[in-house]
């Protein structure tokens, strides 16, 4: 195996690539395919309507792969929040060893999982939040740059800065998330101090991703400029694919006199977004996509994709090594 990072050693994977825990995408078929290809597949807990449905999906994934895989538990703002403790309890009972956490006030869930000896990867968009997660005892931090899909935070810090700040400040090993689709990106992340990368949008555009092929084709055709930032007014900034619905949401957000979220809520409905992945109409509802869509030009299997990323990363790292002659300026003085 060409890679030997804290991530590959701790998780028991061959390629330091983690599949993002994506709502309505992180099902057994995709998670198993990523794990079988040498990365870390992730099931998305809240894609399952109940904790018992998550149990069934975990067991389905176990039937499809003998390799390590994880579960994402994202704590979202809601009037009636899901029973996160119950989802975590199922994860523990089913013997899952790796969990990706994200969202608001994750302390109780992290404590529950850590007590069971589970490895925690926690997603953050700022160094301040990363340091708070460090204090909770997480094993890895997933540093999420402004380029990413979905919730981008409110600070607009891109990964070139954010990863270097993570290298300077954090004691816990970290992985890079947001803007990654190829081996050159993996090599760059490793050079900046990361132990691996997290990819979401790139895995949406694979054969095994359980979404309509029209959506995969829309990603292939898209440019890096074809995303939109929505809900900034309500401090819940989210990067979405730029389509009729997301642009209408932005128009309402800018023009609303009341600033009531109820005006925009019908346009950012998660259920309509879910239907996009089923019916294949990219304009039917909002759906998340990162700026990395501009780097995606095909729909490979996960096996082909990860083999390619591995090869590209090794070539890129070898190429950069060849730039160095072995001499230093000091040695000439």
Q: What is the mean pLDDT of residues 180-200?
A: 98
| pLDDT over 70 (residue 180) | yes
| pLDDT over 80 (residue 263) | yes
Confidence of residue 179 (pLDDT cuts 50, 70, 90): very high
* Contact of 12 with 35, CB cutoff 8 Å: no
Please give the backbone phi and psi of residue 273, each rounded to the nearest 5 degrees, phi first: -65, -40
pLDDT for 167: 98
Domains in the chain with CATH codes: 12-212+299-316 (3.20.20.70), 227-279 (no CATH)
Instruction: Give the DSSP per-residue string, 84-116.
Output: HHHHHHHHHHTT--EEEEEES--HHHHHHHHHT
For residues 268 and 94, give the distance between their C-alpha atoms in angstroms, rounded to a whole number.
34
For residues 221 and 233, give the distance between their C-alpha atoms in angstroms, rounded to a whole number.
30
Give the Å distances, CA to CA, from 75 to 105, 122, 148, 217, 252. Answer: 7, 11, 18, 31, 27
**Order of strands, sheet of 174-177, starting from the edge strand that comes earlier in the sequence:** 17-19, 197-199, 174-177, 140-144, 119-124, 98-103, 69-75, 41-44
pLDDT for 79: 76
Q: Against a cut of 0.85, is the pTM above it?
A: yes
Q: Give percent of the chain with pLDDT exceeding 70.
A: 98
Q: Which helix (H) or strand (E) holds 155?
A: none
| pLDDT over 70 (residue 331) | no
Beta strands (DSSP E) in the chain are 17-19, 41-44, 69-75, 98-103, 119-124, 140-144, 150-151, 174-177, 197-199, 227-230, 238-241
pLDDT tens-digit profile of 283-316? Answer: 999 999 999 999 999 999 999 999 999 999 999 9
Confidence of residue 321 (pLDDT cuts 50, 70, 90): confident
């Amino acid at each position: 195996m060409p890679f030997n990072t804290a991530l590959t050693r701790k998780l028991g994977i061959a390629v330091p690539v983690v599949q993002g825990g994506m709502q309505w995408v992180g099902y057994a078929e995709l998670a198993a395919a990523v794990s079988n290809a040498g990365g870390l597949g992730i099931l998305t807990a809240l894609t399952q309507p109940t904790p018992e449905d998550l149990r069934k999906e975990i067991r389905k994934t176990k039937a499809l792969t003998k390799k390590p895989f994880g579960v994402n538990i994202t704590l979202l703002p809601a009037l009636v929040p899901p029973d996160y403790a119950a989802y975590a309890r199922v994860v523990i009972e089913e013997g899952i060893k790796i969990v990706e956490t994200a969202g608001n006030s994750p302390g109780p869930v992290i404590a529950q999982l850590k007590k069971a000896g589970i490895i925690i990867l926690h997603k953050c968009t700022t160094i301040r939040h990363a340091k708070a997660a460090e204090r909770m005892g997480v094993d890895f931090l997933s540093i999420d740059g402004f380029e990413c899909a979905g919730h981008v935070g409110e600070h607009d810090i891109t990964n070139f800065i954010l990863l270097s700040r993570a290298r300077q400040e954090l004691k816990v090993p970290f992985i890079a998330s947001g803007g990654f689709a190829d081996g050159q990106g993996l090599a760059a992340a490793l050079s900046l101090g990361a132990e691996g990368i997290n990819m979401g949008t790139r895995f949406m555009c694979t054969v095994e991703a359980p979404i309509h092929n029209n959506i995969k084709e829309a990603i292939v055709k898209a440019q890096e400029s074809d995303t939109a930032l929505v809900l900034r007014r309500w401090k819940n900034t989210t990067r979405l694919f730029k389509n009729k619905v997301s642009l209408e949401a932005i128009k309402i957000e800018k023009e609303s006199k009341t600033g009531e979220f109820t005006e925009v809520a019908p346009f950012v409905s998660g259920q309509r977004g879910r239907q996009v992945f089923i019916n294949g109409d990219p304009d039917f509802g909002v759906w998340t996509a990162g700026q990395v869509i501009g780097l995606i030009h095909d729909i490979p299997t996960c096996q082909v994709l990860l083999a390619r990323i591995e090869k590209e990363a090794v070539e890129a790292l070898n190429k950069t090594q060849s730039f160095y002659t072995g001499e230093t300026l000091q040695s000439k003085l």
